């Protein structure tokens, strides 16, 4: 599974709703079971709940469902 370890850097990007990593990383939120694209307009999750993956398939394999706002599977 391609989980991205550099959480600090990517979380800063999520908190800023920065789209620089759009298509290169996805964020799974443990508390909700949802994963999002980078730059999703949904409320910023707590850092401790975030896991980052390289592909949609990795997120699904880890048990996350796609966000209905940013639709990462498309």
Q: Active-site residue numbers?
A: 36
Residues 29-48 that bind Zn ion (CB under 5 A): 36, 40, 42
Q: Does 66 bind Zn ion (CB under 5 A)?
A: no
Phi-psi region of 28 (alpha: psi -120 to 50; beta: other; left: phi over 0): beta
Q: Does 67 bind Zn ion (CB under 5 A)?
A: yes
Cα–Cα dist 14/27, whole Å: 8
Cα–Cα dist 31/23, whole Å: 23
Stretch that binds Zn ion, among 3-11, 19-27, 51-59, 63-71 (CB under 5 A): 63-71
Applying CB under 5 A, the residues found at the interface with Zn ion are 36, 40, 42, 67, 69-70
């Amino acid at each position: 599974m391609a989980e991205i370890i550099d959480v600090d850097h990517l979380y800063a990007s999520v908190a800023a709703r920065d789209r620089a990593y759009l298509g290169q990383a996805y964020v799974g939120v443990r508390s909700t079971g949802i994963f999002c694209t980078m730059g999703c307009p949904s409320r910023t999750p707590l850092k401790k709940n975030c896991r980052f993956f390289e592909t949609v398939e990795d997120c699904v394999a880890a048990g996350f469902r796609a966000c209905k706002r940013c639709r990462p599977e498309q």
